[in-house]
Amino acid sequence: MTARIRRALVTGASAGIGAAIARELAARGVEVVLVARRSERLRELAEELATTTEVLVADLADPTGRDLVARRLASVDRPVDLLVNNAGLGVYGALASQDPDRIRALVEVNVAAVVELTRAALPGLLARERGGIINVGSTAGYLPGPYSAVYGATKAFVRSFTEAVYEEVRATPVHVLLLSPGVTRTEFQDVAGVPEGVFPPALTGTVDQVARAALDAFAAGRPVCVPAAADRVVAYGAQILPSALTRRVRASVMRRYVA
């Protein structure tokens, strides 16, 4: 399926999983539209990539930024065949102590942007009968997340939303994939305020592993990709164990680091 992808748009492309997916797409001969807030990083990545690139600076926490990207997705002059909704924010700690503005931005980026950009991309994809969408969720979306309550809830939304849209277009040539990585070594944890030592290094994946797994799963037409075996165990276990157990275990682990 990726053989028919000529041009992809990747949000949150300035670092982490987004940058790795952009590099992997370029390595597969796909033109990439790079979207993020940090223009300097985007231009550095654009110079690095071997294929044609386009830089689009936009803050997805701002409706104006989302509108800018939505218009690019709807363009018929240089159509986008693959949308990768990767941009995301995190907030860790007790909800009562979190910054309301940070929470608001998190919901705008993790939820509103995913919905609005998916909606903007779909009509053109369906009309052209090709391509698709990868929405980046998280294994955090499979279980309640005390001390990351809002983040986990947004990823649960992404999971439900993406699987539903996958089913809506399943009978068409357009494919929608939910990518749910576990903990991945990026700067995301530092920005989100994740305490040091919460996640063991042995259970932490790399951005390159996630990027390759995502594009391979998309090419294979799979509805969901949880890249690492250990994370698949977590995702499966969270669906069969009672939430009273999973939320208490999670809270007992996190409480030691954030209290």
Write the pLDDT tens digit of every residue in 10-45.
999 999 999 999 999 999 999 999 999 999 999 999
Q: What is the pLDDT of residue 142?
A: 87
Predicted confidence band of residue 51 (pLDDT cuts 50, 70, 90): confident
Angstrom distance (rounded) from CA 182 to CA 206 = 10
What is residue 234's predicted lDDT score, i.e. its pLDDT?
72
Query: Which position has the higher pLDDT, 204 or 46?
Result: 46
Percent of the chain topping pLDDT 70: 80
Give every CB contact of residue 27 below 8 A, 6+ residues apart in sequence.
50
The pLDDT value given to residue 246: 64
Kindly indicate the confidence band of residue 254, based on its pLDDT and cuts at 50, 70 and 90: low
Active site residue 147: no
* pLDDT of amino acid 228: 75
Phi, psi of 91 (to 5 degrees): -135, 125
| Sign of the torsion angle spanned by Cα atoms 165, 32, 15, 214 | positive
Angle at 37 between CA 130 and CA 217, to 5 degrees: 35
Calculate mean pLDDT across residues 209-220: 96
> What's the pLDDT band for 253 if we cut at 50, 70, 90?
low
Quick one: average pLDDT of 228-240? 68
Domains: count for the chain: 1
> Which one of the listed residues 92, 142, 147, 151 is annotated catalytic?
151
**Nearest Cα residue to 7 out of 116, 67, 65, 83:** 83
More confidently predicted of 146 and 68: 68
* pLDDT of amino acid 107: 98
3-class SS string, the chain = CHHHCCEEEEECCCCHHHHHHHHHHHHCCCEEEEEECCHHHHHHHHHHCCCCEEEEECCCCCHHHHHHHHHHHHCCCCCCCEEEECCCCCCCCCHHHCCHHHHHHHHHHHHHHHHHHHHHHHHHHHHHCCCEEEEECCHHHHCCCCCCHHHHHHHHHHHHHHHHHHHHHCCCCCEEEEECCCCECCCHHHHHCCCCCCCCHHHCECHHHHHHHHHHHHHHCCCEECCCHHHHHHHHHHHHCCHHHHHHHHHHHHHHHHC
Res 43: pLDDT: 95
Which pLDDT score is estimated for 233? 66
Q: Which of 225, 230, 126, 218 is nearest to 176 (CA)?
A: 218
Instruction: Please report the sign of the dihedral spanned by the C-alpha atoms of residue 59, residue 43, residue 137, residue 67.
Output: positive
Please write the tens of the pLDDT for every residue from 138-196: 998 988 888 989 999 999 999 999 999 999 999 999 999 999 998 765 544 444 445 54
Residue range 65-80: average pLDDT?
97
User: CATH number of the domain that 193 lies in?
Assistant: 3.40.50.720
Which of 80, 179, 167 is closest to 137 using CA atoms? 179
- Please give the mean pLDDT across all residues of the chain: 88
Q: Which domain holds residue 58?
A: 2-258
Examine the pLDDT at 116 and tell me if it is beyond 70: yes
